[in-house]
Chains A and B, each alone.
Chain A
Amino acid sequence: MASNLYNPGLEKLLDGTIDFENDTINVLLVDTNHSFDKTHDFVDDIVANEASGTGYARKTLANAAIALDAANDRVEFDADNPSYTALDAGTIAAAIIFKQVTNDADSPLIAQIDFADLVTNGSDVELQINSEGLFYVTNNIT
């Protein structure tokens, strides 16, 4: 698995359907049965493999922000690290970033953030977002 953006989600980011800084941007965790499909557009496409168990709940990303990294010619999308207390929800394999609207059928997927599979054991778990952000858009200047 690798980190990727969903094509419909990328479109929504660029056409303004998703306002990353002002909409409710949530994260959910999926287990190892999840596989990325770039054409997936809403949460109901991937919800079947969402993690479940003690201490698990979808989280709202705090301080979702877009920032220009002029030195690297790119715009970075970042947020605070979400954390889970006493998480016991089996093995978690990736985090799915999405815009929360009203339900899974109308909440668009944005990106999948991959990480090394973690076996939850009732300990606290933190999802550490990459230091460069969840994702970025690079202006490929030549």
Chain B
Amino acid sequence: MIGSYPIGVFPYGRAESEAGVAVVSLGVAEAIASANGATTQVVFRLQPTPAEATAQAIGSNIGLGLGTADASASGVDATLKLLLALGVSEADAQALTANIKTILAASPAEATAQGLLASTPVTLVTAIADAIAQGNDIASKHLLDLGFAQSEAEANDLITKTILETIFATAIASGQVPIPLIRFKIGRAEGIASGNNIVPKVDLTLGNAEAAAEALDMGGVGLGIFPAEAIVNAQDIVPKTFLDTETGEVVADALVIVPLSKLALAPAEAIANGISTDIGIETTEAAAIATALDGDATYFVTDVPDIIVTRSADLTQNVLKVLNDEVGNVNIYRADDHRALFSKIATNQTSPYTDSSLDPALNYKYKATFVIVGTKGGQSVEVEGPKSDPRYTIGNNTL
């Protein structure tokens, strides 16, 4: 079935044709269809139940759909389009050269799409399995729509847009320099991030957790995940990164001068790698904490007693008298010899104080302090001031 205006009927199915269009429908066995040459439009609708189907179109515009088995489609040369729709098994599509579009849709199986060179849009839709999309060079677009599996998207170079939408799975998006736009819709919540030219901002609100990211100066990418981790890359000059997630870890790399970012997420981990210099990580809240400090209210005494000591004629008593009474009560210290140490002999005494039962054979010396006895914190406290000058007794004389 080669050339213009083909009409073909295949052994195990039924075929219809129109001008420049071929439609093939298969039942159980194999089907091989090839279309060569320019300006040919070939549309294959292959619906074998257990068998295989291979479609190759050399020229433009190829469509291919399979029910249960394997499918492989290759489109070569310019303005190719590949369409793959698979039921259960694998799909592998490659589109090379410019203006290629690759669309993969698989229900429970794997889908891989690669678009290379310029102006390559890539769209992946899978239900349960993995999907990988890579778009390189200028003006690429990535669309991911996943059911329960993982997704990875890398968009490189100029005017990159990345949109991720998953239901319960993880999502990764990278947009790089300049004018990146990033939009997330994950899990049960939504996150929208956008960065426009210089000083982009990325805001994410996801699931039960929160993620917020701001990238300053030339491009930024923010990413958040429902229960797990979050990664943010801010690129170019003076990037800033802020992450706040609920349960997981946070890793942030800030890279200088058009770095590439690659994000890969499982349900648990997140890693962001960039190649360049300057890495900034900020994982906890920045805070200034004001704290007032307890003080202490205390009685205080600065006055010093001015005392005199008078010894009785029989040398058995000394009377200590305070000549000034700024505070009132005093503590009294005595040394039992002029060379002995002072010890407190009386507390909170009024003046004059009589010290009796003394040894007539000894000479004594005295000091005194003013004292305040009060209540602080519900407890009795005693605060005394500085000691007075000593007063000596020699015989019944006082010095």
Residues of A at under 8 Å CB distance from B?
A: 2-5, 10, 29, 83, 92, 95, 111-121, 123-130, 132-140, 142
Contacts and interface: CB of A to CB of B under 8 A. Distances in A.
Contacts, number: 109
Interface residues of B, number: 28
Contacts of A124: 299-302, 372
B296 interface: yes
B300 A83 contact: yes
Nearest to A95: B295
Contact of A134 (B287, B289, B292, B297): B292
Specify which of B298, B302, B383 lies most central, judged by the most chain A CB atoms within 10 Å of its CB.
Answer: B298
A115 B374 contact: no
Given A83-B300, A124-B302, A118 B374 contact: yes
Specify which of A4, A29, A111, A124 lies most central, judged by the most chain B CB atoms within 10 Å of its CB.
Answer: A124
A114 B299 contact: no
A140 B288 CA distance: 6
Given A117-B376, A140-B287, A142-B284, A123 B299 contact: yes
Interface in B209-260: none
A125 B295 CA distance: 13
A47 to B, nearest CB: 19
Given A117-B376, A118-B298, A123-B372, A139 B293 contact: no
Q: Is the interface of A mostly helix, strand, loop or mixed?
A: strand
A134 B298 CA distance: 16
A113 B284 CA distance: 31
A105 B291 CA distance: 25
Contact of B296 (A2, A115, A121, A142): A115
Contacts of B299: 118, 121, 123-126
B290 interface: yes
Contacts of A5: 290-292
